[in-house]
Structures are given as C-alpha cells and as structure tokens.
Amino acid sequence: MHNDRENLEKIRDELSTQSKKGLCSWKGALIIILSLAYLASPIDLIPDFLPVIGQADDLGVIIFDILYIIREYRRSKTN
C-alpha cells in the first residue's frame, strides 16, 4: 500500500511538472490522476471478484484514458 501511494505521488508530481511546462493541460492531468487512483483503489463500482464483469469497469477506465490521450494528442498537433 505504501509503495502504491509513493508511485501515485510521483505520477502526480510528474504530471504537475508537465502541466506547468505546457506539455499537458490540468484537465488532462486530473483525469489521468483520478483514473490511476480509481485503478489502485480497492473500491470498485463492480467488485473484481465477479468474473469478467468485475474487470470490465477497470478496462473501461483504461480505454477511456487511452482514447482521451489520443484525442488530446491529435488536438495538440493541429494547433
């Protein structure tokens, strides 16, 4: 647990640094941080002990993040 918290803090610090440099938006950084916190949290919308369905909400968060990152990357390339 302690190691997970340290890792999340490192990610938060790195995203904060990237945001200050203008390499990502605060909104994007916040979405990534909240998603990582949800994935690391033992509390899920659908409990993981349910086969297949239990991992579906985690997979949904990961897919959402990937699609968001791709959209933001494309948006930044057009500007």
Q: 10-residue block means of pLDDT along the chain (79 residues)?
A: 69 75 76 83 80 86 88 78
**The pLDDT value given to residue 2:** 57
**The pLDDT value given to residue 37:** 82
CA-to-CA distance for 29 and 14, rounded, in angstroms? Answer: 9
Report the candidate in 63, 58, 68, 73 with the shortest Cα–Cα distance to residue 23. 73
**The pLDDT value given to residue 63:** 92
**The pLDDT value given to residue 79:** 64
The pTM for the full model equals 0.64
**The pLDDT value given to residue 1:** 46
